[in-house]
Every structure is written in C-alpha cells, then in structure tokens.
Amino acid sequence: MVEKTADARLEEFEARIDRGEKIEPGDWMPDAYRQNLIRMISQHAHSEIVGQLPEGKWIPYAPGFRRKLTLIAKVQDEAGHGQLLYRAAEMLGKSREEMISELLAGKAKYANVFNYPTPHWADVGVIGWLVDTAAVINQTMLAQSSYGPYGRAMKRICYEESFHIKQGYDAVVAMARGTADQRAAVQAAVDRWWYPTLMMSGPPDTISTHSQLALRWRIKTKSNEQVRQEFVDLIVPQIRALGLTVPDPACAFDPASGRHRYTQPDWEELKRVINGDGPCNKERLDARRKAHEDGRWVREALQAAS
Ligand code: FAQ
C-alpha cells in the first residue's frame, strides 16, 4: 500500500471538515488540531471544576431549603461536566493526572470569571443568569464542533446549563421584585459581573491567537466577537425587563444593524486575571490544592483495589 503524504492527509482531513463530518479519536488529525483541542477542552474542564467554588461557598447560607437544593444540584452538575471534559481530553492523549497537576501548579488557564469574589447571595443568582447564559451560547456553538466527543459532551452539558440559567434567573427575579435593599443588591451584582462575563467569550478577533485555526477546522464555529454579541443581544432586554440597569451607558440598540452597541471590556484586565493576577486566583487554587490533598486517600484506596 502506498503511504499517503502529509499534504494528502491534511487535504483529506480538511475535506472531511468541509463536508461537515465529525472527527473521532481514532481518526488521523493534524497535531495542531489535537493540541488545540487538548488545550481548549482541558481549560474548559478546569473551568467547570474551579467554577464550583464561587457559588459553592454559598451552599450553607442559601436562603431556604429549595434554594439550597437547587444550588447543590447545580454545583454537583459542574463537577460532572469537569469529569466528562477531562475524559474527552484524555481520549486525545493527555493524562488526567498531567492536566490536574498543571492546574494545581498554576500553569493552566480556566475561565476568567471564576477569579472574582461572590460577596452576596445575589452573586449566585447573577452568575447563574449571566455567566451560564454566556456559557450556553458559547457551548451551543461548540456542540457543532468538528470533534465528535467534544460536540456530544456539549449537547449534554447544555441541557444541564439551561437548568442553571433558570436557577439563577429565578433567584434574581425574586430579588428584583423584593425590597429596595434586595433590588440594590442584585443591581450591584449585575454591575460586578457585567464586564467579567463579557470577557468570558474571549478576546476580540484581532487579538485572539487561536481563533483563525479553530474556525478553519471548525473546532469553534463562531468567532469570540459573534458569541459575545449574541450574549449582549439576548441579555440586555432581560436586564431591562427586570427594571435593572446595564452598567454601560453606551449600551444601546442600533436599529440599522439590529444589534446592541456596547463598550468593550478592559482586555488588559482579562490578560492579568487569566495569568494568575485576579482578585481570587490564589484563593481558588488554594481551595483546589486542599481538595486534591483531602481526596488523596480515595485515589490511593481505589488504586489499591484495582
Ligand atoms: N478565560 O486565542 P484565544 C462555564 C485565553 S464553562 C480564560 O481567543 P480560544 C460553566 C485562551 O485560553 C466556562 N482564558 O483562545 C460554569 C488563550 O490562552 P492560551 C469555560 C481565556 O481558545 C458556569 C488566550 O487567552 N468555557 O462557565 C479567556 O480560541 C457557572 C488567547 O485567547 C470554556 O472553556 C477567558 N475568558 O478562545 C461553571 C469553553 N479568553 O491557551 C460554573 C471552551 C481567552 O493561549 C458556574 N473554550 N482566554 O494560553 C472556548 O470557547 C475558548 O477557549 C475561549 C477562548 C472562547 C474561552
């Protein structure tokens, strides 16, 4: 049998992507495709795991039994998403132990939003509403990814994240219709989360380093800007319908484009936060390291039994 040249393999791979076929773990893929997926999926897995912490801290203080139950369910879901995503990345050839040790060593990135504090119960509602809406818009796009296991994981995760939006929105509505103090608390939380949530979709296309290749190979099917714009167009009317204010005086609907104009976040802040210098990076990693140590005996017992 004649060995195919690297060029022919790449051409065949790109033709499959253009036909909308899914790439599966055993299929040939360019190394840059594999590495990009490992990078993105492992960062996504870390985000789900670290993402349990800002809201998880409120479980003991949730106002009432039903709110506590739904919050516990949500936080447990995030742990499950993390496991599913670590598995998807493992299938590409990087071990879970290596990914986790990079996270614990502070060498791996995870979503910027989880490095901000949650000083009030209103933050829990606003994370579920704003952050999960932004996550679902991005993940609905990723469900179309050319890499089969990632797309399939996204479909399942999106069902659960949609429940998380409802959980957050329901808490926000209760506060927005509550006392003046409750309305003020929920507005303050919207003010805190607005720009970090805008940053979540990634830097603008002009400075995004990976987007070009990711779009060419349909790892992502929309650019960071497109995803952010969809989020703004969806969420701004919701914020206003609750009598709350978007903390951006320049944010306005533009009838000509049918889109909302908005002020870009501070991209230098994003760089600082994802490189370890956000308000809560140290607290988050310390909590993960402690959880890893506390769980050591479980991993050792499982290993001894296998
Ligand atoms: N945060 O070239 P690009 C959730 C990094 S899940 C942190 O544009 P790319 C559920 C980027 O990694 C949330 N890092 O990169 C939940 C790259 O760094 P590198 C997580 C960011 O990959 C809700 C560099 O900057 N979702 O919330 C961010 O094409 C509530 C250059 O950027 C995902 O991970 C950022 N915001 O686009 C859980 C979805 N933006 O690797 C609990 C999958 C950029 O060169 C509670 N990931 N960076 O060192 C993606 O869609 C993409 O990776 C983007 C970035 C859009 C995040």
For ligand 1, whether the C-beta of 208 sits within 6 Å is yes
For ligand 1, whether the C-beta of 200 sits within 6 Å is yes
Give the tens place of pLDDT for each residue, 195-232. 999 999 999 999 999 999 999 999 999 999 999 999 99
Give 186's DSSP letter: H
Give 264's DSSP letter: P
DSSP reduced 3-state for 110: coil
For ligand 1, whether the C-beta of 135 sits within 6 Å is yes
pTM over 0.95: yes
Interval 282-301 mean pLDDT: 97
Q: Whose CA is nearest to atom 48 of ligand 1?
A: 202
* Torsion sign over Cα 221, 226, 232, 233: negative
Interval 239-268 mean pLDDT: 98
Ligand 1 midpoint to CA 166 (Å): 23
For ligand 1, whether the C-beta of 51 sits within 6 Å is yes
Model confidence at 4: pLDDT above 80: no
Interval 162-170 mean pLDDT: 97
Mean pLDDT estimate for the chain: 96
Give the tens place of pLDDT for each residue, 109-126. 999 999 999 999 999 999
- Separation in Å, CA 81 to CA 85, 105, 151, 156: 6, 22, 13, 9
State residue 101's pLDDT score.
Answer: 97
Model confidence at 272: pLDDT above 90: yes
Model confidence at 1: pLDDT above 70: no
Q: Whose CA is nearest to atom 44 of ligand 1?
A: 202
For ligand 1, whether the C-beta of 130 sits within 6 Å is no
